[in-house]
């Protein structure tokens, strides 16, 4: 099982308490379920993506141009690989295939950031 978490579930995001709380719940459920179902050989992990999605594109629609530029600069410089958010097909898809495959047979209960190093840089 692959759940979608978020770095927002691990750290507070100003103005996004409900979103952060729900992602924190996904993280706890992932770890709890991994422990409960491991004996049945059911692996449960969560990915924490930093990807361009319809939600990420509309999240800043209330911002003016200066604020959008600041947000872009912060995101770009906050990613260790030196680029903007990842591409779901190129960056996230292969990780999901790996987690769903037998190659990850000894991985469970993990929260895996797929974010170009953003969580380690900030």
Spatial distance between the Cα atoms of 30 and 108, rounded to a whole number of angstroms = 9
Residues 64-89, mean pLDDT to the nearest whole number? 75
Specify the DSSP element, H or E, that contains 47: strand 45-49
pLDDT at 67: 76
Closest CA to 111 of 56, 36, 29, 53: 29
Spatial distance between the Cα atoms of 102 and 89, rounded to a whole number of angstroms = 21
pLDDT at 76: 63
pLDDT in tens, 7-47: 888 887 777 889 899 999 999 999 999 999 999 999 999 99
Which pLDDT band, with edges at 50, 70 and 90, does 74 fall under? low
59 or 111: whose pLDDT is higher? Answer: 111
Spatial distance between the Cα atoms of 47 and 22, rounded to a whole number of angstroms = 14
Spatial distance between the Cα atoms of 117 and 33, rounded to a whole number of angstroms = 26
37 or 60: whose pLDDT is higher? Answer: 37
Are 83 and 75 spatial neighbours (Cβ–Cβ below 8 Å)? no
Spatial distance between the Cα atoms of 53 and 64, rounded to a whole number of angstroms = 20
19 is catalytic: yes
Are 48 and 110 spatial neighbours (Cβ–Cβ below 8 Å)? no
Q: Is the pLDDT of residue 122 over 60?
A: no
DSSP character at residue 82 = S
DSSP character at residue 64 = -
């Amino acid at each position: 099982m692959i759940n979608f978490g978020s770095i927002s579930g691990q750290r507070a995001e100003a103005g996004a308490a409900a979103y952060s709380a729900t992602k924190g719940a996904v993280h706890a459920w992932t770890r709890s379920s991994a422990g409960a179902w491991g004996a049945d050989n059911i692996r449960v992990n969560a990915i924490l993506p930093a990807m361009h999605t319809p939600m990420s594109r509309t999240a800043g629609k209330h911002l003016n141009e200066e604020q959008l530029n600041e947000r872009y600069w912060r995101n770009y410089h906050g990613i260790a690989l030196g680029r903007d958010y990842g591409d779901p097909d190129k960056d996230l898809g292969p990780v999901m295939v790996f987690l769903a495959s037998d190659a990850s047979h000894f991985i469970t209960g993990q929260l895996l950031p797929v974010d170009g190093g953003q969580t380690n840089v900030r």
